[in-house]
Structure 1
Amino acid sequence: MLLGLMASASYFIYLVTSQENSTLAVSLSTNALKFYCPATGQYLGECTGHSGTIHEISFAAPSSPQVICSCSSDGTIRAWDTRSYKQISLLRTSQELFSLSFGGSSGNLLAAGSNSQVLLWDWRNSKWLASLEESHMDDVTQVKFAPHQHSKLISAAVDGLICVFDTDGDMNEDNHLLSVMNVETSVAKVGFFGNTYQKLWCLSHIETLSTWDWNDGSRELNIEDARSLATDRWNLDHVDYFVDCHYSLPDDKLWVIGGTTAGTIGYFPIRTGLEGAIGSVEAILEGGHIDVVRTIYPAASTYLGQNRGIFGWTGGEDGRLCCWHSDEIAEINKSWISSSLVSRVQRKNKSRHQPY
């Protein structure tokens, strides 16, 4: 049985879990945020206020685990208290905002990507700090602070450039731009991987995949026909798009996650030491979605308690939010789609995950 979470005209754009894994937050095409219990799908509350598309959401620093921030095409970054679902702060700009990230050596910086600019604030007091205007020539689609080098900030844009900044001290591009990498096509998503997160994966808007060492700016892998290679690595329909990449630190392993227009997605391993090396699919998520999957949030392998055995969560253009359980936990036999719990028969094939 499927119970639609949203009206047919709305769909999911972005999802993330809180640091203590007690709350699943999703942004919707209705410009609202909604919150659910990760294990059960129970609806918890919602936040409204944006007048344009919410491009990215992120829980704030560990010192404020109850705060989530959202950036939007309406030119604002809004902070919300997930206990009361009320807006608690507002940063307003004159530009569309595509991405945001928390970091800095003191954990006080909030970065955002806008129309050819990288913007920086002290998020503790909402003080504007800098506007980096010379490094990019088009929309900045991604900003991310490095996990193990908190002062380092990565930005990526439609102009095909990935820039590395040092955010310590008074910010200016003359002294703080460390390096530039040229992907040579519009950048959609980037993320860190490697045992010290010294490497960067990059997905482009034309579905190419590349990997980089961002410390020295060298490109290690460039796969221009990534969708075709992934399609050859499973026996299902053609891989039509990539949703994201996922890196497991305990396994030191990177996957690219591809999907079909019918809603099936697969995890394909990337062997970065070999040119064009997309391995055979290692996990298939099928039966939950009937349209394009827009966002995926893989569960951490350390999840315990009520979240034990969860493989991850997905949201799609079909208006469905799905929770997937790992077949490796035999006693776990409940998954959920949207707001309804459904039973699932355990399968012996550990490479397939279904919400039924």
Structure 2
Amino acid sequence: MDDGEATAAAMEVEAEASPCAGLYAPMTSDSPSPNPYGSVASRRLGLKNSIQTNFGDDYVFQIASCQEISKLAVSLSTNALKFYSPETGQYMGECKGHEGTIHEISFSVPSSPQVICSCSSDGTVRAWDTRNFKQISALRGSASQEMFTFSFGGSSGNLLAAGSNAQVLLWDWRNSKQVACLEESHMDDVTQVKFAPNQQSKLISAAVDGLACVFDTDGDIDEDNHLLSVMNAETSVAKVGFFGNTYQKLWCLTHIETLSIWDWNDGSRELNLEDARSLATDKWNLDHVDYFVDCHYSLPDDRLWLIGGTSAGTLGYFPVRNDPAGAICSAEAILEGGHTGVVRTVYPAAGTHGNLGQNRGIFGWTGGEDGRLCCWRSDEIAEIRKSWISSSLVSKLQKKTKSRHQPY
């Protein structure tokens, strides 16, 4: 297979089996343990397999998958999308065409599970057919615009929103017609746009200016009549996400690694953790938590986890409670031994409607600045105290480089 994509014969590496005092043990679910908060021993999650996506100085930005998790899509710093088998890591193909950094990818095109979309600094939102890896459409903003984020939604499900340089753009996906340009609500790059899962007409945008805006996208969209509320995180926003039984809550991670929790319906801030890294560091006995990768919400358990990482590549799942006195709890799952640098993306098997994690013992996948794509087994097969790492990993030349962990 070309470009070093083939996985060589696996080496067996003994996984760490020693418990960590004060940490939870992940249960048989493909989410971390739903047990009540307390102090019990835990085991680190084992590495199922790991592959090298490139042999150069490139790294992984984001992992995405379709509903049934039949393939993993990986965006790389080479401005390409590559596809792998979620179970074996086998290379399946790639999509090329972007001429700038890819900021977001998603299998979210209405009624088209085989289509993946991507947005880039080249000013485009592109759609690709993953059956033949060909581009099928491209939406463009103005000549100087970058596209940092996108989301599908609207009452009819046919709107595509994208965040650009201080603008939120909306298109009708069916005919590629731009229906709105919201340019008065933000003063800096829009890093996130998301339609609310249970109120598809509501759109939230967040930006480097620290603001998160709520829009109603029904009817003829304009800022004078459709801007419902504004929340101020007071610093540059990196990621936001919905959670709660009716998705009425919004978590917000910033570029200076703070975490806040909001009720986006009324715009009230319920929790503000400016020292989130220190709080997380105190909840395990490993290295200092240097950054946060993402948050993960489990609807069946109604639980939110903050995913923190170290510069050496270890990850921890820290439960979050809406209680300032004990907002971040002891790490329930630890992913260690797969990465050697900053982890950029975590894709949990529980984050989809598929049951691959339950049936195959897979907890999820991670990718990072070391160019590795790692698959982690769940604790339901914890009696198998082995990990497998492709021998192709040792082929990559190790270079001393400055950290590439950038704001966006």
Does TM-score exceed 0.5, indicating one fold? Answer: yes
2:252 corresponds to 1:205: no
Output aligned runs, 1:116-127, within 5 Å. 116-127=166-177
CA distance 1:3–1:157, shift in 2 (3 Å): closer
Of 379, 391, 403, 1:327 maps to: 379
Amino acid at match of 1:181: M
Amino acid at match of 2:227: L
Shift of 1:340: 7.3
Q: How many residues are matched?
A: 341
Task: Name the residue aligned to 1:345.
Answer: none
The superposition leaves residues 101-150 of structure 1 with CA deviations (integer Å, 9 ceiling, x where unpaired) of 11111110111000000000111221111100000000000000111111
Amino acid at match of 2:355: L
User: What secondary structure does 2:55 align onto?
Assistant: coil
Distance in structure 2 (CA, Å) of the matches to 1:82 and 1:334: 33
Relative contact order, higher structure (CA 8 A, sep 6+): 2
Note if contact 2:51-2:89 (Cα within 8 Å) is conserved in structure 1: no
User: What secondary structure does 1:230 align onto?
Assistant: helix
Structure 1 runs (4+) deviating above 6 angstroms are 331-336, 338-341
Note if contact 2:297-2:304 (Cα within 8 Å) is conserved in structure 1: yes
Note if contact 1:309-1:332 (Cα within 8 Å) is conserved in structure 2: no
Of 96, 101, 125, 1:53 maps to: 101
Of 69, 79, 89, 1:21 maps to: 69
Note if contact 2:51-2:373 (Cα within 8 Å) is conserved in structure 1: no
Task: Name the residue aligned to 1:310.
Answer: 362
Task: Name the residue aligned to 1:351.
Answer: none
* C-alpha RMSD of the superposition: 2.0
Note if contact 1:160-1:185 (Cα within 8 Å) is conserved in structure 2: yes
Shift of 1:305: 5.2
Output aligned runs, 1:95-174, within 5 Å. 95-174=145-224
Task: Name the residue aligned to 1:353.
Answer: none
TM-score of the aligned structures, taking structure 1 as reference length: 0.91
Note if contact 2:61-2:75 (Cα within 8 Å) is conserved in structure 1: yes
TM-score of the aligned structures, taking structure 2 as reference length: 0.80
Note if contact 1:321-1:338 (Cα within 8 Å) is conserved in structure 2: no
Task: Name the residue aligned to 2:122.
Answer: 74
Distance in structure 2 (CA, Å) of the matches to 1:120 and 1:154: 13
User: What secondary structure does 2:224 align onto?
Assistant: helix
Task: Name the residue aligned to 2:344.
Answer: 294
Amino acid at match of 1:218: S
User: What secondary structure does 1:229 align onto?
Assistant: helix
The higher radius of gyration belongs to: 2
Shift of 1:300: 1.5
2:303 corresponds to 1:253: yes
Note if contact 2:250-2:264 (Cα within 8 Å) is conserved in structure 1: yes
Distance in structure 2 (CA, Å) of the matches to 1:165 and 1:339: 50
Amino acid at match of 1:96: E
User: What secondary structure does 1:207 align onto?
Assistant: coil
Shift of 1:332: 7.8
CA distance 1:171–1:267, shift in 2 (3 Å): same
Unaligned runs of 5+ in 2: 1-10, 12-49, 394-408
Amino acid at match of 2:372: R
Distance in structure 2 (CA, Å) of the matches to 1:100 and 1:334: 40
- Aligned residues with identical type, % of pairs: 79
Distance in structure 2 (CA, Å) of the matches to 1:210 and 1:255: 13
2:82 corresponds to 1:30: no
